[in-house]
Amino acid sequence: MSEHQHQITTTRIIENLISDIAELRKVLKNTLEQWYVYNTEIKPHLLALYDSNFREFEIEIQNQSLQLSDIQRRVELLTIKASRGEKLTPEIISAVNTLVDKEFERFYERMNEFMDRNTSKSSKKTNNEFKDSEIPKMYRFLVKKLHPDYNNVTDFTQKMWQRTQEAYTNKDSRTLHSLYEMLAGSEEKFSEDIINCDNIDQLLSIKKDLTKKVEYEKKKVEKLLQQEPFTLEKELKDEIWINSHRLNFKRTIEKNDSEIKQTQIRYKELTGQIHPTKDTKQTNNHQEFDESFSENTYFGHR
């Protein structure tokens, strides 16, 4: 092959690589934008739709499950005592109740957090997952990439710019981070000099890195769509399915109610007392309990 032919071949290889890289960048940008729309627009909409139909049932079932576990634990410990021939004195009963109160304290706290999911306090906790010092850094990057005075304006970039301003005003670091990840993820090294690059090895390396990045981001989108609430998108538009799902929830609630009542009867049979009702919004007061009772009653003999 002559020098001239070799030069022509090399030029074609470089042109093809640059073209491939440009296409990969385009695919990567579209994939990142797709992930952002799914994660920040469609997902919240589907979750809100699901919550409007089923959230009250799920909260009730969560609460029931906690109550049932609570009273079953008390009955279990009391039954162990009784099976050993011990008399269930008021002191023993009080010790059991104190122990179970302590054991279940963190579960009631978690239930309280679940109940407060839509309160301003909960929202603040959810939205500010990053250090305050990271917010200006992310914001500066987003301004550079989205400000209409310095960039081409499209419907998408205009929407992202508005979201950036809202998130920065509200100190919503989670939204800022999602925007930052999307735009930073589409940036690759040599982005400004790639059109003038004539190093085949360097171009091959960039293409390889971009190909891996595209594959990774596509898999991330696929994984997201395989999870709820996306897997329920069609069902959430089907009134027959919605009504059927509600009926299943109601049946579960009725079943749980029955189990709770039966366990309460057993508790009363053992103690002669009514099971102490726990308020989900209980305080965080810590009560002293006899650790030796715990060891001798349950943990050491289960």
Q: What is the DSSP string of 166-189?
A: HHHHTT-HHHHHHHHHHHHHT--T
> What pLDDT is stored for residue 132 in this prediction?
63
> What pLDDT is stored for residue 141 in this prediction?
86
> What pLDDT is stored for residue 29 in this prediction?
83
- Tens of pLDDT, residue by residue over 1-28, are 567 676 778 888 988 998 998 898 889 8
| Segment among 49-63, 151-165, 168-182, 189-203 with least mean pLDDT | 189-203
Average pLDDT, the chain: 81
Q: Which residues of 235-254 are buried (b: 16+ CB within 10 A; e: fewer)?
A: ebeeeeebeebeeebeebee
Residue 193's φ and ψ, nearest 5 degrees, are -100, 0
Per this entry, what is the length of the chain?
A: 302
- Six-digit token pair at 246? 């509600």
Whether 187 has a pLDDT exceeding 80, the answer reads: no
- Six-digit token pair at 116? 């407060």
More confident residue, 221 or 174: 221
**pLDDT-derived band of residue 280, with 50, 70 and 90 as boundaries?**
low
- Tens of pLDDT, residue by residue over 41-68, are 899 999 999 999 999 999 999 999 999 9
Greatest mean pLDDT among 54-58, 164-168, 204-208 lies in 54-58
Mean pLDDT of 28-48: 89
- Six-digit token pair at 249? 């929830």
Rounded to whole angstroms, the Cα distance separating 18 from 8 reads 15
Whether 290 has a pLDDT exceeding 60, the answer reads: no
More confident residue, 201 or 292: 201
- Six-digit token pair at 283? 């305080």
Rounded to whole angstroms, the Cα distance separating 181 from 28 reads 12
Q: Which residues of 116-141 are buried (b: 16+ CB within 10 A; e: fewer)?
A: eeeeeeeeeeebeeeeeeebeebbeb
> What pLDDT is stored for residue 295 in this prediction?
44
Mean pLDDT of 114-142: 62
CA distances from 74 to 88, 142, 286 (A): 12, 55, 18
Residue pair 74/265 in contact by the 8 Å Cβ criterion: no
**pLDDT-derived band of residue 123, with 50, 70 and 90 as boundaries?**
very low
- Six-digit token pair at 185? 């993820």
Among 115, 146, 152, CA closest to 36: 146
**pLDDT-derived band of residue 36, with 50, 70 and 90 as boundaries?**
confident
Angle at 162 between CA 143 and CA 153, to 5 degrees: 70
87 conformational bin, left if phi > 0, alpha if psi -120 to 50, beta if neither: beta
CA distances from 272 to 117, 148, 158, 230, 267 (A): 38, 74, 68, 50, 8
Question: Rounded to 10 degrees, what is the CA torsion of 108, 109, 110, 111?
Answer: 50
**pLDDT-derived band of residue 175, with 50, 70 and 90 as boundaries?**
confident
